């Protein structure tokens, strides 16, 4: 139970960081296949699926609530160490994925799949530093529908390994407005500010409903791909995982290197790599 909550927390934090894929973290920790299965078979295997999904969802919510306050501070004060921690978390899952293809015949199509998705993520990351105009979140019917649609798109990309849902939100201009809405909502909860809570609900409920719909829609598609073309899927994931550190570099802003930053950055990478391998056991 505790281990599942911790996995959910890592996924939740990853989904907030532009350039980091929550789906990749699911793969890195060895729960991607089972998580997709539980989502697509939620009603057929209700008790079993809920017992697996609930602690992960709880961990994600805890992480999103906590990181919406402290994440920007970490990236501002310790950008190299924080980014290398996530690079370690991502690459720490590569050995587990490699076992899925090790010993299998490697075809030209498998290499093409890996290279294609590597290039796709790098291309998205190259565009990621040009955020669109901040979206208007004032409460009206049009914006409610828009938030629902954005939630569908964001959640679909969050489930796909290698694609950063927060980066997609950034490109659409919704990243900072939604993140601020989450921060304001939890601040209002702690202050018992009813007006602030209602304002937060006006943004987060339609967005959250869109997220749920998007996850169920994309999960079935992903399950079919893994059933029909498993080797192509795993080679694509390898391309996505390897591309993630490049995407993080392209999306990040880094200060000049010093001996302290290099040493602590390497330590952060090792810690992240070890955590990913441990959680993926």
- Residue-range domain boundaries for the chain: 2-279
pLDDT tens digits for 44-99?
Answer: 889 898 999 999 988 888 887 776 566 667 777 888 888 888 788 778 777 777 88
Q: What is the pTM of this model?
A: 0.64
Q: What is the pLDDT of residue 7?
A: 85
Packing angle, helices 79-91 and 2-16, rounded to 10: 120
pLDDT at 172 over 90: no
Give the long-range contacts of residues 101-106, CB within 8 A, separation 24 or more: 101/231, 101/234, 101/235, 101/238, 104/231
Residues 6+ apart with CB under 8 A from 238: 94, 97, 98, 101, 114
């Amino acid at each position: 139970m505790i281990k599942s909550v911790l996995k959910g927390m890592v996924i939740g934090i990853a989904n907030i960081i532009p350039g980091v894929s929550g789906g990749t973290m699911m793969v890195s920790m060895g729960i991607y296949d089972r998580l997709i299965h539980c989502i697509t078979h939620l009603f057929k295997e209700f008790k079993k699926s809920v017992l697996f999904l609930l602690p992960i969802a709880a961990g994600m919510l805890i992480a999103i609530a906590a990181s919406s306050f402290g994440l920007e501070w970490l990236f501002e004060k310790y950008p190299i160490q924080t980014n290398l921690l996530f690079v370690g978390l991502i690459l720490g899952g590569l050995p587990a994925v490699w076992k899925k293809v090790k010993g299998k015949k490697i075809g030209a199509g498998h290499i093409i799949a890996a290279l294609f998705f590597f290039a796709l993520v790098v291309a998205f990351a190259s565009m990621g530093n040009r955020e669109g105009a901040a979206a208007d979140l004032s409460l009206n019917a049009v914006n409610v529908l828009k938030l629902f649609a954005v939630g569908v798109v964001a959640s679909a990309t969050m489930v796909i390994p290698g694609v950063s849902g927060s980066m997609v939100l950034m490109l659409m201009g919704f990243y900072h407005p939604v993140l601020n809405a989450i921060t304001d909502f939890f601040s209002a909860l702690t202050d018992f500010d009813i007006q602030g809570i209602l304002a937060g609900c006006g943004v987060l409920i339609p967005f959250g409903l869109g997220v749920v719909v998007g996850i169920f829609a994309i999960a079935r598609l992903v399950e079919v791909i893994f059933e029909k073309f498993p080797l192509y899927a795993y080679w694509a994931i390898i391309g996505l995982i390897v591309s993630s550190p490049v995407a993080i570099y392209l999306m990040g802003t880094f200060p000049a290197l010093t001996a302290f930053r290099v040493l602590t950055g390497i330590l952060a990478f090792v810690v992240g790599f070890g955590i990913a391998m441990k959680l993926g056991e």
